[in-house]
Chain A
């Protein structure tokens, strides 16, 4: 079996969550690579939308964008709206998927990318929201991708940068967010799905070779399990080949071990 990096694993498993014919709001790095990979493997009519203001660009292999605001993500786009208009389309509910990373995430899918520690006396300052809050608020299915570590999967995030299901139940709706929300949380160990009723994350599948105990050991809150647990198949040769052709100098996918 071919060896792969953690980022390759995350990118490939994320790409499989994207259905053909849908519209994905993707940032640079894993989201964009996963979206292009999906187009090439199983979803040729997936439309990519990029925050800087590009609708349906055709990213060239070996010209992977390094920022959401540059020529490579505008290449052959069907439309180049302003960033304000692009987020307006999100508000109107046009985008099926949104992709986010997270420094911390809680059982209700709330995301922190602002600060570790208190806001007044931060231990670590993080980059903040950028477009993440809008994506979490308005995309119909949000996919959160992050490495699985206990310090990231916490009972309570230090700060809610981007809303998941807030305190669960109908609290998201009461906050005025009438549609959308976190659907999947994907890590190098597992895949969680948010329960539409309670808003709580439930373990749905394990990455190949991972045991339930591994996930529990790396999660800072009790893991609720959807039985029977599924297993995510490892990346195929074809998926890795296409991915490595895209990120040919391994800027995002990391050094081969």
Chain B
């Protein structure tokens, strides 16, 4: 099992609230520190899902079928040579905006 983590914390922080741990360390082969690793989906409190992107995917995959899905995979999966390049294809604006929305959502900024 490879864990993709938004942030690697000190074991001390894990020991403070062991009741919140969901995967025991002995089940894990490797940990990768990868911010925005769930993008274009979400990580609670850090970034919301990129709904506009998901919406476009659903609409075009359904309307244009396999050929379009292949081009999508080429652009977002096979094409990028690194994870940063992958994220860049979504655009900095989307990353900032989904992060901002997550902070509003969990930070009590909604009345």
A interface residues, Cβ below 8 angstroms from B: 23, 47, 54-56, 58, 74, 76-81, 89, 92, 94
Contacts and interface: CB of A to CB of B under 8 A. Distances in A.
A41 B41 CA distance: 48
Interface of B: 11, 14-15, 18-19, 21-22, 24-27
Q: Describe A's contact surface by its main secondary structure.
A: loop
B18 A76 contact: yes
B27 A78 contact: no
Contact of A76 (B15, B21, B24, B27): B15
Nearest to A56: B25
A80 B19 CA distance: 5
Given A55-B24, A78-B21, A94-B24, 11 more contacts: A23-B26, A58-B15, A74-B18, A77-B15, A78-B14, A79-B22, A79-B25, A80-B18, A80-B19, A81-B21, A89-B26
B18 A94 contact: no
B12 to A, nearest CB: 9
Contacts of A92: 27
A78 B19 contact: no
Q: Describe B's contact surface by its main secondary structure.
A: helix
Contacts of A76: 15, 18
A254 B11 CA distance: 36
A79 B18 contact: yes
Contacts of A77: 15, 18
Contacts of B27: 89, 92, 94
18 contacts: A47-B26, A54-B18, A55-B18, A55-B24, A56-B25, A74-B18, A76-B15, A77-B18, A78-B21, A78-B25, A79-B18, A79-B21, A80-B18, A80-B19, A89-B27, A92-B27, A94-B26, A94-B27
Contacts of B15: 58, 76-78
Contact of B21 (A47, A58, A80): A80
A78 B15 CA distance: 5
Nearest to B12: A76
B10 to A, nearest CB: 12
A89 B19 CA distance: 17
A78 B14 CA distance: 6
